[in-house]
Every structure is written in C-alpha cells, then in structure tokens.
Structure 1
Amino acid sequence: MSASGHPGSSGTAHTLAELVRAQWDDHSPGGLRSTDLHLTHHATAAAAAARAALLTELLPSGAEPHVGLLLDNTPEYPLWLAATALAGATAVGLNPTRRGAELARDLTHTECALLVTETAHLPLLRALEEEGLALPRTLVTDDPGYAALLRPYEGAKPGESTVRTPAPDRRMLLTFTSGSTGAPKAVVVTQGRLAAAGHALARQFGVRREDVHYLCMPLFHGNAVIAGWAPALAGGAGVALARRFSATRFLDDVRAYGATYFTYVGRAVQYLLATPEQPDDTDNPLRLGFGTEAGPVDAARFSARFGVRLVEGYGSSEGGAALQHSEGAPRGAVGRPAPGTDLAVVDPATGEERPRARLGPDGRLRNGAEAIGELVNRGTSLFEGYWKNEAADADRTRDGWYWTGDLFFRDEDGWFHFAGRAEDRLRVDSENLAAAVIENILARCPGVTSAAVYAVPDPVSGDQVMAALALERPFDPGGFAAFLAAQPDLSTKAAPRFVRVLERMPVTATNKIERAALRRTGFRCDEPVWWTPYEGEARAGGTYRRLTADDIAGLLAGYRAHGREDLLGR
C-alpha cells in the first residue's frame, strides 16, 4: 500500500499533529520498535498523548513552550517529538557531543522551559550546574520517578492537551546547525514544513505501511527527523531505533526489525563498508537508503555488496535549497533542482553565474577555478528563519536569494555536483563545525600563540579538520593530544587530524589570517605536519606523528580512488 493509503494521511495532513493523531485508530503492529519495546501505531499515539498532557502541566506559565531533548535514540525521543507536535509546543534537539559553554549556550539561547534527558547524560548537566547555570525542570526518562509522573496521564487522547493550537505555521522543531560565525544557529521548522517533507519523501520513495524505517542517525540531527521519522508517519510505516549508530550491529538490527529503509549522513556508509565482508551480506530486507555524502564510488560498492540502492540527495534543515536525485544522473552528480526552486552556482562576491563545468572522459573536473561557486536559490525558498538571529537570517537571504554557503559546480547537462564548504565551515562525519569555536579552544593550549582551523577535503566525503599553529616552543605531539582529550567543550568531531606547525601565521595586508593560502596548500606544505592516521584518535587519547612522503602518497591514492583529488588545493 502506498503512502496515500495510510488512514488520515492521504496527502492532506497539514501538520505533524494530524499525522500523529492518525495513528490513534491504527492498531496494526507497525508503530515503534527498539531492543526492549514494541508499540503498535495506536499505542505510540497513546504514549505521545500522555507525554503531551504531562508537558502542558509542567511548562511554566508564560514561558516559551520549548522542550529540550538531550537523549540518544531511545523510544522517548520520537515519543516526545510526537508529544510536542500534539501540544503545539517546540522540540529542541540538543547535541550530546557538545560540551561545557557550547551546550549551555544551546540551552539558554533556545529558552528551553523543560528538559528531557537520561541518566547517561546527567554528567553533562551536572557540569553546567557547577558552572552556575540554572537548569530548567528536568525529566530523566530512565529514572523510576518518571513512570510515576506519567501514570496519571495514561488515559489521555491525542488533541486533548495543548499549549498552543497545532497549526501549519506553528514552530515544531529547533535543530542546530553551525555557521561560519562560530555560534550555532537554531533552525526553525514548522509543523507544516515537516509534514510536507514527510509526504514528499513518502511519495518519492513509495513508502508503504509494511515498511520499517531504521533510524540509526541521531535524532537531534535534521536528517533522522526530516528524512526518516516524518516520511514514516506520512506513509504509515513502522519506526525502529538504534540508540547510536554501530556499523557492526547494523545488519543484525536491520534483520531483527525487518527494516526496509534507512537514512545516513557523513561517513556512515564508509564505516559499514569497512566491516568484514560476509557471504550473507545481501540477505537483508533493506530496499533503500537515503542520505548524503556517501560518494559515487562507495554508493556503488554498497549496492554491490549489500544489494541495497542508495539515493543521494542534497538539502538542509533550513529548507532553503534542495537537489533531487533522478535516474540517469552521471557519476558524482547530486541531482537536479527540486520543483519550485531556481538554483544556480554563482560567484559569491558578484552574484554572477559561474560557467558550466567541463568534465573529462574520466569524469574529472577540468575547469574548477572558474566553474566552482556558491549554490544559491533565486526562487521560492522554504527557509523559515533562525531562532532569534536576525543577522544570520539576513545573511542567508541577502539580495532576495537563499545562499547555501556550499560550493558546487554545474555540468553542461545541468547536473549539480557538490564541491565543498564555503569559507571556514567544516562538515565532519555529518556534523557542521565552525572554525572559530575550535580555534578558541586551541588557543588555550600552552605554547600556542596563534591558531587557524580550516577544512581539507576528506578522501571520500565532507571535510577533515586541519589546524595551523604558531608556537613559542617545539611541538609536543603527546602533550597536544592530551590537551585535546582534556577539553570538556571540544566536540567529539572537532579534534584536528592534521596539524601544521608554523613560526608565524600568514596574514593579509589588514593583518587577518590568510586562510585561503592555508587551504590551498593543505597538508602538502613546506612546514612540518603532524597527523593521526585514524580520525578521532587524538580525541580518544592517542597521539600524533610526523606526516611522511609515503603517508602523503597513500592519502593521494585514496583521493584518486574516490575521484576527489581535484578538490585538493582550493
């Protein structure tokens, strides 16, 4: 049965609340599944209604109805998403990989009046309290007292308890994305936009009631909510959860849940391909994976090994621009513009459209210097703004266009190809990072007189973090790694993989660090470069070693194998 057959979600549901209420009359076994729970659609709606009733009782009078969710992918996460939808409240996705002042800023900036968390994340909150932050009322979902709080509301029905009327323009979600200014921005996603996205993807992929969407990407990220949870609701499919992504557990989960669809971002596909091959890899119920940054080489390898088609797309939580994959796309292309958009690749300084890219017989870009520019949407945008950040709104929508901040080129047949991140944005393993935040942390390191952080392309997809350090003493690789591991506010994705050691930073005539020059040379520079052969090694307490000519040769071979060598040196 297609998405149009789901009760109450025939394509006319204009809010997430309507999609949740449609589950009430559906007693089929789809619903919500985890390792220790299986709820029918009806039971899922009932559990969401109970939480909506509790929410309306606990929210302080006059406060913004913002509910912070600091949770792994436990059943409580989608239940609270559904509860906020029913209540006309707003769910705030909090990233548990953020630490200290960064996490405190996320909480206070979004004005969370209620916080839902679990025991595993209580140390993060205790650290904030020790620094003097007054936390909102906090519910700990695996504490015995939580069940007692919910018990009086177990008979609640969807729609009975609201703080604001659920409407298409009601703010449903605040999800963080990082920008070049350093401070993360909270993207506004309304009930109407999220419902529309769910319907669109359910139609595009023919979501059926017998489908099971496996949510292994974190639900604080827009990918899992917009591309995984919402289309499952719209199509009447079941939802199965992985607390955290695990490459070694992936197939076991998929088989146990009968999962037919999953979403991915960043290097998830590469982590799955790195697991040992088994003769029964194709023995799985999956029919589709949807996401970004797998890369054409590994998407083909994944399909051949697991018998599962991957569909690459481009979009953002902001909703300002989207590219849709379609049949016949050349190798490496992301897709063509989504209906209703007018996308172009332009010179970010002048706004003039860039020339079309010339690709050689091997598919490699021949005129990158003139063809690569920033992707903009000159037509209608679904961007609904950032929470209390007018400057960021204006920058994103200047001159009446939506500026993505991402670099693309467009080939002669009109296909769009992703080329990287603009300026000092970095995207590492699906997480957007800001150079300024990492630089401020590195500046604390003893002996560092100046630090610059910038992206170098990952051999497969996205970016890797490189830092240039000006030092007043010789570089101590073990000491530097220990310093990183001790920083409570350093994101788990932000430890530099490459460290370039300089006597002094290159600067412009106005004494600004000349980042463009640093990016151009990357790790192939005259100065010493230290690195961790495996991403995340330093953050886990490992160390750095000198980058050798053999190391560089091995890295370049990886770039060539994935068709990304042309991205180096820009």
Structure 2
Amino acid sequence: MVRGVYTVAELVQRQWGDHRTGLRESDLTLSRHQVAAGAAARAALLADLLPRGAEPHLGVLLDNTPEYPLWLSAAALAGAAVAGLNPTRRGAELARDILHTDCRILVTERAHLPLLDGLDLPGVRLLVTDTEAYERLLAPYAAAKPGEAVVRPVTPGTRLLLYFTSGSTGAPKAALCGQGRLAAAGASLVAHFRLSAQDTHYICMPMFHGNAVIANWAPALVAGAPVALRRRFSASGFLPDVKEFGATYFTYVGRAVQYLLATPESPDDRSHALRLGFGTEAGTVDAARFEARFAVRLVEGYGSSEGGAAIQRTRGTPAGAIGRAAPGDDLAVVDRATGQECPPAVFSASGGLSNASAAIGELVNRGRSPFEGYWRNPEADAERLRNGWYWTGDLFYRDAEGFLYFAGRDDDRLRVDSENLAAAMIENILARWDAAAAVAVYAVPDPVAGDQVMAALALREGADFDPAAFADFLSAQPDLGTKMAPRFVRVVPAMPTTATNKIHRVALRRASFHTPDPVWWTPAPGAPYQLLTPASRAALLEQYADHGRSPVPEA
C-alpha cells in the first residue's frame, strides 16, 4: 500500500514500466505501463489544446470505455480537472453543465453526438474518441512520458474532479475534488477492505458518478490492481463479465442489485471469484438475498462527491443502520431549526422508530470536513458550511450506540436510481403541458431503495387526462432527463394548499398513491401509463412488504 500524502498523478506515474494487467474491457487489455503511456499522450495533447489563460477543465461525455480512465489519468498528470457529464441530461441543461464548468475541451464518442446537436457551446473544442481524426490528433504524442506536460503544478490540493450533484432547487452543482482527497479516499477503502494488487475491480456503474471513480477506480490505483470496464450496466452481462475478468470487487447502487436479483437463477451463480460489493441503497433484504444467492457480501456506505461526511459499516452494525462515523469525522444528528442535537432513537418491540419526530434530524459534521466547495457557487458553499459545521442536507437518526440510520432527504429533493433530482426542475418541465393548470412533483419511497417520482396534476377546465398524449409530451421535452419522468401521476380536482396558499407537499407525500383520485402509473420503465387498479395496487404493496418498506414516508 502507498504511504504518506500523495497525488493521483503519482499513482498514475507509478504504473510506468509495470507490465502487469492494468485495464480490461471485452476486446482490449492494456498493461499498467500502457495505461500510463496513454495517459501521458493525452496529457500532452491536452496541454497543447487548452487555450492560454483558460481554466484547465475538460468535459468527459463517455460511457465506460477505456478512454474514460485514460482521460482521468491524463488530467491528473497535467494538473487539469475533469467534469463528468451525465448523458441523461438533455438540451439546454446539458449545455449549461458544460459551460458552467468552463470546459474548453469536450471528450465524447459518436454514440453521444446526437445529445450535442443544436447546442450552443462557444469556445468548446470537441474530441470524438472513436474516429480516425482523433487517432491522427493523438498520434504525434505517442512518445510522451508522465510528467512532461503539465498545465498546472500538481499538489494534493490540485483540483481533479468536478462532479455534478443536485440540490433541492436550481441547476446541479459541481462538487470539487482534489487529487489528495481522491487518493486518500482510495487509500482508505484499500485499508478498510484489505484490497491488493491481486484483486480485480469491476466498474459497471457510470464513471460520471463518484461511485465508480471515488469508490472503485481510485482504490484500484492505490492497490495497483487492474480495472475491468462494462460500457453500461447490464444485469444479464454482470455475471459473465465477473467470471471472464476474474473480478473480486465492484461498486453498486440499490437499483442495480434489484436488477441482478431479478435475473434467472443458475447453478453457476457462485462460480466466480467475486468477494465484495460496496455501495448504497441496496436495502437489508436485498443485500441478504444477494449474499445467499451469489455468496458475495454487500457493504453499505454513505458518502458523496462533496466528501463532507462519511459513514463506515463495521462489524456489529445493526440491521437497517448504515454504520458509524468514519474515523476523523464528528457526526451528529441535529435539529435544523434549533441547532441542537437530536435525542437517540427509541425503538418499539417490533423494531419501529417510536420517536421519529424528535430523533430525526439533519446529519452534520462538526469536525474538520474535507469538503472543497462547489465550482463558482458561493451560495451553495454557504448553505453547506454554517457555523463551522458541514450540513449534509440528509436526514438521519442515531441509536444509543452511535449507529446511524438514513431517514430521507430534504422535501424538495428526490433520489431516483441513486441520482439526486430537483423537484422544481421537473415541475418546470411538466408545467409546459397545455392541459396542466398546476403541477407538484414529490418523492414517494421506492419499493426497494431510494425514491420514485410522483406528480400531482390539476387540469385546466374542460381538459381530461390523456395518458398517451401525456407520454408523447414527455418524450418531446429535450431537457427531461431519463430519470425524471413520473412513475405515478395523480390527477387532482384542485391542488391541496396550506394556510399560506403554498402547495401542501406534505399531504401529497403522505397520501402517496393511497387516494380516491385517479392515479396513473407505468408498471415498468418505458411502459405506457395505465390506471392503478385495486389489483395492481395490491401487487405493488406486496413488493413494498417484501422489502420491509412502505409507500408512505415515515416522517
């Protein structure tokens, strides 16, 4: 294991001359030396292409191809920073992400070029990796060596990542991560899970998220272990990949685990080398099912690209808990209104939380926080750092032994398939529908983990809800991301309001789909909207019961 304070650039450089396997995908294998050489070539190209005086930022809009870790490594060597761009973003919202982070170079592939059609991206140079033009552009730099091309001096504090994370309102924020913090995160996971060069890290989660880069790619660099890439997550391709690559470690989100459990069982389900998965929101029921079927332990964690607070699961962590504060963090559950620490959780005989109203509060880090801020967003920085504490914006409760339990997130936020979404942004899109007089978007719990999107629509006088027309409207919206379409649509005669004439979101959330109003839903992604009948509601409630969840928020 690497010791001391170091940078990601140092970790990339240490691959030079090492001819062990460094990177694999289905039809390509690169040695660690080839990875370092490829990174050095791209760093030299980057140094020549970046305009003088410009921020050394490049946007990466790629699936999990070898080019993604090569450009991350190149940026580290050059002292540049990568903005991971989410391909589920559309139109002006995607353009905003690119321009907000001052990207002067955009690395993409032909499959994503349609996303860029018609976008106004002044001053941004496009590199399309799977083209002959790209190969010709890169060829003169083939002999470059690590450390020769630097656009900014590399220190542990040198910015390396700008990873988008959604807040409760407005556009996504770009969280900053320096080389030292990313290297330290990798080292922490190597030590915690005893990872080594004999492991193989399988990366099937998208690399525009911190999950794949911070919790998978970085520890592989630290341990000197190879990484194996899957372009996009595939439930059917997961086990064949794991066997082909000899993978031992992977990261996940809860939805991926659910998809894997839905695949047909096979006598060969345990015929692999995989030993550990690390991620979020799998749920205790699915984690147990996964281990029973595949003989692979899933370890739940809590963290974010911001790095402001982290929770680690240790031996003895109770069912349902995430774990305790990571070493060095002074985490507390605080009443946001008073700033006072909430009392410990009190559990009923059946294990339910008896004092939810008192015990649930916002998780804060009262100690030294590694949070590095957001790119050019002082308002968001100030919201995160108040009175010397880091405020996560997530709701938790804590038992008498100090174990922390996740309880939800701010009312205006939704977390769908481990992506944070802002309700206001979805409302602004749905409000364009001609038949809608008023719109409210809110979260309802997913049967397994996280949230699903539910919308309440009050229709204009004389209008009827036409499910096909509504679906057509959604598909025509250029800025509606793939996670934003409502799973449930409640058609209300009038929008419920509070005494101050604001939409009564609490009442909507508490009702969920238990309402006499007509509720339309999509039984599966891409399926047409249909009425939620008593029979389909009963079947859906069985899914919640199977995972120990309720469609109504606990608090």
CA distance in 2, matches of 1:201, 1:186: 24
Kept after mapping to 1: 8 A contact 2:444/2:551: no
Check whether the contact 1:49–1:86 (CA below 8 A) recurs between aligned residues: yes
> Is contact 1:118-1:142 (8 Å) kept?
yes
Which residue of structure 1 lines up, in the alignment, with residue 391 of structure 2?
403
1:554 equivalenced with 2:546 (yes/no): no
Task: State the alpha-carbon separation in 1 of the partners of residues 236 and 357 from structure 2.
Answer: 41
Shift of 1:498: 0.8
SS in 2 for 1:466: strand
C-alpha deviation, 1:135, in angstroms = 5.6
> Is 1:291 aligned to 2:301, yes or no?
no
Which residue matches 1:52?
43
Map 1:253-268 to 2 at 5 A. 253-268=241-256
- Counterpart Cα distance in 1 of 2:552 and 2:521: 20
Structure 1: stretches of 5+ with no match in the other structure: 5-9
Q: Deviations over 1:348-385 (max 9, x none)?
A: 22222222222234433233233222111111111100
- Per-residue CA deviations over 1:42-88 (Å, capped at 9, x if unaligned) read 11100100000000001111110101000000000000000000000
Decide whether the 8 Å contact of 2:254 with 2:283 is kept in 1: no
1:567 deviation in Å? 5.5
How much identity, in percent, do the aligned residues show?
A: 66
Name the stretch that deviates more: 255-264 or 524-533. Answer: 524-533
SS in 1 for 2:161: strand
| RMSD (CA atoms) | 1.3
C-alpha separation between the residues in 1 aligned to 2:206 and 2:123?
23
Indicate whether 1:120 and 2:105 are aligned: no
Amino acid at match of 1:390: P
Q: Judge conservation of contact 2:99–2:121 (CA < 8 Å) in 1.
A: no
Q: Contact between 1:197 and 1:226, CA under 8 Å: does it hold in 2?
A: yes
8 Å CA contact 2:510, 2:552 repeated in 1 = no
Pairs within 5 Å for 1:3-18: 4=1, 10-18=2-10
The answer on whether the counterparts of 2:362 and 2:395 sit within 8 Å (CA) in structure 1 is yes
Q: What residue is the counterpart of 2:486 in the other structure?
A: 496
Aligned pair 1:448/2:436, yes or no? yes
- Measured after TM superposition, the shift of residue 25 of structure 1 is 3.0
Equivalent of 1:475, from 465, 471, 489? 465
- The residue aligned with 1:32 is 23
Alignment-mate amino acid for residue 85 of structure 1: A
Q: CA deviation at 1:425?
A: 0.7
SS of the counterpart of 2:103? coil
In the alignment, the residues of structure 1 paired with residue 38 and residue 28 of structure 2 have an alpha-carbon distance, to the nearest angstrom, of: 12
TM-score when scaled to structure 1?
A: 0.95
Q: Secondary structure at the match of 2:477?
A: coil
Q: Secondary structure at the match of 2:348?
A: coil
Please tell me whether the aligned partners of residues 223 and 263 of structure 1 are also in contact (alpha carbons under 8 angstroms). yes
Q: One-letter code of the match for 2:171?
A: A
Q: Which residue number in structure 2 is paired with residue 65 of structure 1? A: 56
Aligned twin of 1:168 = 156
- 2:509, 2:317 → 1: CA distance? 30
Following superposition, the deviation at residue 321 of structure 1 comes to 0.8
Where 2:146 maps in the other structure, the secondary structure is: coil
Alignment-mate amino acid for residue 11 of structure 2: L
Structure 1 runs (4+) greater than 6 angstroms displaced: none
Which residue does the alignment assign to 1:149?
137
- What amino acid is aligned across from residue 24 of structure 1 in structure 2? W
Q: How does 1:237-316 map to 2 (within 5 A)?
A: 237-316=225-304
- 2: distance between equivalents of 1:135 and 1:33? 34
What SS class does the counterpart of residue 565 from structure 1 fall into? coil
Partners of 1:420 and 1:457 within 8 A in 2? no
* 8 Å CA contact 2:446, 2:551 repeated in 1: no
The more displaced of 345-354 and 276-285 is 345-354
Letter in 1 for 2:223: G
- Give me the whole-angstrom Cα distance separating, in 2, the residues matched to 1:567 and 1:206: 40
Secondary structure of the structure 2 residue equivalent to 1:369? helix
Q: How does 1:513-532 map to 2 (within 5 A)?
A: 513-532=503-522
Alignment of 1:75-94 (within 5 A): 75-94=66-85
Q: How many residues align?
A: 553
Secondary structure in 2 aligned to 1:517?
A: helix
Distance in 2 (CA, whole Å) between partners of 1:563 and 1:266 is: 15
| Candidates 420, 424, 429, aligned match of 2:417 | 429
Q: Does 1:218 align with 2:210?
A: no
Cα distance between partner residues in 2 of 1:195 and 1:278: 39
Aligned counterparts of 1:387 and 1:276: Cα–Cα separation in 2: 45
SS at match of 1:248: helix
Q: 2:502 matched to which residue of 1?
A: 512
Counterparts in 2 of 1:349 and 1:552: CA distance versus 1, 3 Å = farther
Which whole-Å CA distance do the structure 2 matches of 1:418 and 1:412 have between them? 15
Whether the 8 Å contact between 1:199 and 1:234 is mirrored in structure 2 is yes
1:71 is matched by which residue type in structure 2?
A: L
1:16 is aligned with what amino acid?
A: V
TM score, norm. by length of structure 2: 0.97
Preserved CA contact (<8 Å) 1:182 1:435: no
Q: Is the 8 A contact 1:522 1:569 kept in 2?
A: no
- Paired amino acid for 2:129: T
Tell me the amino acid that sits aligned with residue 531 of structure 1.
W
Secondary structure at the residue paired with 2:34? Answer: helix
